[in-house]
Structure formats: C-alpha cells, structure tokens
C-alpha cells in the first residue's frame, strides 16, 4: 500500500516542508539565512522585540529572510501572562506581515513549561480577534483537545523542555494527541538531533519546529540539512508503515536449500 | 514635551505625530509596529496621530528568536 502524502496545510497555506525553524541564537544574520536555506523550511518563527532606537544602522532580520519567500510566524516567547502574550501578538500583527502567532505563555523561567491555563485563555481571545493561533503546549492530550476546541489552527506540544535537546520524552502522549486531534500537530521544543526529529515524524506528527538543535550544533548549516533529511525520512517511514516489532529473531534468508 | 519611547525619556517637539517620531528616530515604518499607551496604532494612522506629554510609545520589530 502506498500512502500518498499531501503538503502540510495550515490556515489555508500549504508548505513544501514539514520543518519549521526558529531564527534565534545564530552568530549572524548570514548564518541564520544559510541555516534556514539548508533546512528546507518555508516557515520561520521570529520574536517581537523593541527596536533599538539608538542604532539607526541596525540590520533587520527580514532583510535576510524575505517574507515573500518565507512564511513568517511571530512568537510570544518570553511572555508570562495572558495580557503580555495578547499584547505581543497584536503588535506582531500590526507590523503588517502576518496574522499568525506562535502563542507562548510561559509558566516558569526554569523549565519554560507553558502555563496551560493561561494559554487556553489567550488562545480563545486571539482566535476571536481573527488570529491564526499556534499554541505551544505541554504534551497533555486533554489540554491539546481543549485548544483545538478553542479554535487553534494547530497544536504544538513540547517533546522535552525548550532548548534541552532531550528528544522525544513521551512518545505515547504524542501518539494519543495525534489520535485525538483533527488539526495538525507540530512538535515544538526538545529535539536535539536528527533522530529525534525522525522519531517525531514516524509517530505521525504533521511537522516539527526547532531552533536550538540547529543553532547550537557545532556546524549549524550541516545540522540544518540533517534535520531537513530527518523530517523527510521520518515522514516517509510513517507513510510507508513500519514492520511490526517482534521479540524473537526471524531469519531473512530462505530456510530451504541449505548446504548439507 | 517629553514622551517615553521604548522605555527611555525623550524630548520631542509639541504636536509631533507618530510619523514624525519615526522619521526623527530614523526608523522605517514598513517593518515596525507602534503602540501608544498600550493601544496599537495602525500604520495608516501614523500621520496625524499626535503625541501628548507623557505618552508611552513602544516601537517593535521582528528579531531572531524561536525555541530557546
């Protein structure tokens, strides 16, 4: 059986790649640009911050990542309350590039785990205001379902804490979320290396978002290419349908015709 | 008069509008968003949105960021 794959479609936009990349932690805009190119991603997430009004010659990230080429997904990273997150989302939309928002309402600076209760409230508010909301949530299937019911366009469960690189810590919860939801599920946070991204995709996730795994690699551009391949490989393996696991060996070579 | 821009006090001429402030700061309006006293100002309203003494102005743009 050949299971055909369509593109990842979110908010009416279809993507070539199922990998979304963050743009933080790179040593330069040139490196960011090269890593994004190597990743094959056509959607990038960006943070919303004050303009440095003392340095008029400061370069703009969007000079390196053309919004005509890349779908820009502004995030509310660093927001700890519903009000802060909604305010940041509204400012991001007013910049005129996107009415999408990767919604983060962080509950604690040490773990950067989401405050799921505040996240749900902020999602309801922003959906009502016409935003396409991508909430970053824990790997809790009940909360993921509530976010879907609140009108989120996708849900983005964490695989492990942000920036930890610990990989897919609870594949079972991700599987339950995938079974429960009808909207796309994009793993956000925790991927450390290519095999982690492949595992997420093999589970049937619709996409993976990462930043540190690429930016903090010894060679970010090479790792970006590795992630590009891993996401595609994992997706293909998911579509192909893996063999069942067995506890004992089963020979691959024929038993007949052995030399006696 | 004095307004607060991105957290810093700044002396500006009375009657200045948001457009005037951005050009005085050398900030191109295309890739920023502006908030005055917590209310987002749409780009089409920059010209003619007159600032008042003590206004809190935030000017933001997109920077590299994502998962930390």
How far apart (Å, rounded) are the C-alpha atoms in residues A19 and A217? 17
Q: At a CB cut-off of 8 Å and minimum separation 6, what does A29 contact?
A: A59, A61, A63, A64, B64
Residue with tokens 């010894």: A218
pLDDT score for A2: 53
Q: How many domains does chain B have?
A: 1
Of the candidates A144, A159, A160, A165, the one whose C-alpha atom is nearest the C-alpha of residue A218 is A165
Cβ of A77 within 8 Å of Cβ of B65? The answer is yes
Beta-carbon pairs below 8 A across chains A and B: 124
Residue A169: CB atoms within 10 A of its CB come to 15
Average pLDDT over residues A244-249: 93
Average pLDDT over residues B36-42: 95
Residue A214 has pLDDT above 70, yes or no: yes
Residue A57 has pLDDT above 80, yes or no: no
What is the chain B residue with the closest CA to A58?
A: B27
* Assigned domain for B68 exists: no
Q: Which residues of B touch A95 (CB under 8 A)?
A: 31-33, 60-62
Strands (E), A151-244: 156-157, 186-188, 207-210
Percent of chain A with pLDDT over 90: 84
- A166, A190 Cβ separation under 8 angstroms: yes
How far apart (Å, rounded) are the C-alpha atoms in residues A187 and A202? 12
What CATH number is attached to the domain comprising B48? 3.10.20.30
Within 13 Å of residue A252, how many CA atoms lie on the same side as its CB?
0
Q: Does B40 touch chain A (CB under 8 A)?
A: yes
Dihedral of alpha carbons A177, A180, A172, A10, sign: negative
Question: Residues in chain A whose beta carbon is closer than 8 A to a beta carbon of chain B?
Answer: 21-26, 29, 32, 44-51, 53, 56, 60-62, 72, 74-75, 77, 87, 90-97, 112, 162-163, 188-189, 209-212
Enclosing H/E stretch for B16: none
Distances from the Cα of A113 to the Cα of A71, A193, A222, angstroms: 26, 21, 29
Higher confidence at residue A37 or residue A5? A37
Q: Which residues of A touch B7 (CB under 8 A)?
A: 50
Give Cα A110 to chain centroid, integer Å. 21
Minimal CA separation from A49 to chain B, in Å: 5
How far apart (Å, rounded) are the C-alpha atoms in residues A238 and A128? 35
How far apart (Å, rounded) are the C-alpha atoms in residues A112 and A124? 21
Average pLDDT over residues A31-46: 96
Give me the residues paired with residue A106 across strands.
A114
pLDDT score for A251: 86
What is the chain A residue with the closest CA to B21?
A: A53
* Assigned domain for B35 exists: yes
Q: Which residues of B touch A75 (CB under 8 A)?
A: 65-66
* Assigned domain for B21 exists: yes
Which among A25, A68, A71, A102 is annotated as catalytic? A102
pLDDT score for A3: 61
* Assigned domain for B67 exists: no
Q: Which residues of B touch A96 (CB under 8 A)?
A: 30, 33, 43
* Assigned domain for B66 exists: no
- B59, A51 Cβ separation under 8 angstroms: yes
Bridge-based pairing of strands A43-50 and B56-64 is antiparallel
What is the chain A residue with the closest CA to B62?
A: A48
Cβ of B63 within 8 Å of Cβ of A53? The answer is no
Confidence of residue A254 (pLDDT cuts 50, 70, 90): confident
First-to-last CA distance in chain A?
Answer: 39
* Assigned domain for B9 exists: yes
Is A246 annotated as catalytic?
no
How far apart (Å, rounded) are the C-alpha atoms in residues A20 and B66? 10
Confidence of residue A96 (pLDDT cuts 50, 70, 90): confident
Q: Mutate which of B30, B32, B64 to test chain A, going by most A C-beta atoms within 10 A?
A: B64
- A51, B63 Cβ separation under 8 angstroms: no
* Assigned domain for B30 exists: yes
Minimal CA separation from B23 to chain A, in Å: 11
- A1-25 pLDDT, tens digit per residue, is 456 688 999 988 999 999 999 999 9
Of the candidates A14, A134, A21, the one whose C-alpha atom is nearest the C-alpha of residue A85 is A134
Residue B26: which domain range? 2-61
* Assigned domain for B50 exists: yes
Of the candidates A143, A104, A96, the one whose C-alpha atom is nearest the C-alpha of residue A122 is A104
- A103-150 pLDDT, tens digit per residue, is 999 999 999 999 999 999 999 999 999 999 999 999 999 999 999 999
Enclosing H/E stretch for A127: helix A116-128
């Amino acid at each position: 059986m050949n299971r055909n794959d369509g593109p990842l479609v979110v908010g009416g936009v279809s993507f070539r790649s199922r990998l979304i990349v963050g743009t933080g932690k790179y040593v330069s805009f040139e490196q960011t640009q090269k890593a994004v190119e190597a990743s094959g991603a056509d959607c990038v997430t960006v943070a919303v911050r004050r303009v440095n009004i003392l340095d008029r010659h400061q370069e703009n990230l969007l000079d390196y990542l053309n919004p005509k080429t890349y779908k820009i997904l502004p995030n509310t990273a660093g927001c700890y309350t519903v009000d802060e997150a909604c305010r940041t989302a509204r400012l991001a939309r007013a910049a005129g590039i996107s009415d999408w928002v990767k919604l983060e309402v962080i509950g604690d600076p040490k773990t950067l785990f989401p405050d799921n209760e505040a996240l749900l409230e902020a999602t309801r508010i922003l959906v009502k205001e016409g935003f396409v909301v991508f909430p970053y949530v824990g790997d809790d299937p009940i909360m993921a379902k509530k976010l879907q019911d609140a009108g989120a366009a996708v849900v983005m469960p964490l695989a492990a804490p942000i920036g930890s690189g610990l990989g897919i810590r609870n594949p079972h919860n991700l599987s339950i979320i995938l079974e429960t939801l009808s909207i796309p599920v994009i793993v956000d946070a925790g991927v450390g290396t290519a095999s982690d991204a492949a595992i997420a995709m093999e589970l049937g996730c619709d996409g993976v978002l990462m930043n540190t795994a690429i930016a903090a690699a010894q060679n970010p551009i090479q790792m970006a290419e590795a992630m590009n391949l891993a996401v595609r490989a994992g997706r293909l393996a998911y579509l192909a349908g893996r063999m069942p696991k067995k506890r004992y060996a089963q020979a691959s070579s024929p038993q007949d015709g052995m030399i006696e | 008069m004095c307004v607060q821009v991105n957290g810093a006090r700044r002396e500006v001429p009375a009657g200045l509008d948001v457009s005037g402030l951005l050009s005085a700061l050398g900030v191109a309006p295309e890739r920023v968003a502006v908030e005055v006293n917590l209310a987002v100002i749409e780009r089409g309203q920059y010209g003619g949105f007159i600032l008042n003494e003590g206004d809190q102005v935030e000017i933001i743009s997109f920077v590299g960021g994502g998962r930390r």
